[in-house]
Amino acid sequence: MNHFLNSIPHYKIPDLEINWEHTGEIILFHPKLAPDELVFTDKIIQAFNWPEMRSFHQVYTPAATINYQMLWAQKQIRLVISFGIQPIDMGLNILLKPYQLTYLDPFYIYLTDPVARVAGNKDNKSKIWNDLRGLSLTP
């Protein structure tokens, strides 16, 4: 796709090869998780009881060159929870404060600490609960 620009050593632009059409309404962005951490993130989403909302785990791998433009263009996305992954690493050129719900039209984005730090800290879990419990998500 970007053959001309990729032929110049200065540029490295990944192609838009990934199909994001089956992404859920809630994106959980995190590095590779242990099985118990994966269960923990799913329990977080279940606790909010957002009916008819499907969650989707996007595993972030620093070495992978993925162009996330098509992901953020998906109209069904209502909430992105990033566990320790900075927005710039997700292809979003914005600054966010941790534990602050931000509306980025057409979805909300919420940056937290990595899953291990959230799971092991009652205060961090309380922050997430307090910040997201009143959020009304509709498909």
Q: What is the mean pLDDT of residues 107-133?
A: 94
Residue ranges covered by each domain of the chain: 22-132
Residues 6-50 pLDDT 10s: 566 665 555 556 677 778 899 999 999 999 999 999 999 999 988
The DSSP call for residue 66 is -
HSE of 68, CA atoms in CB hemisphere, 13 A: 16
pLDDT higher than 60, residue 82: yes
Mean pLDDT across the chain, nearest whole number?
87
Residue 64's pLDDT band (cuts 50, 70, 90): confident
CA distances in angstroms from 28 to 42, 58, 138, listed in the order given: 9, 6, 17
Q: Which fold has domain 22-132?
A: Rossmann fold (3.40.50)
Contact 28, 57 (CB under 8 A): yes
**pLDDT given for residue 8 in this prediction:** 61
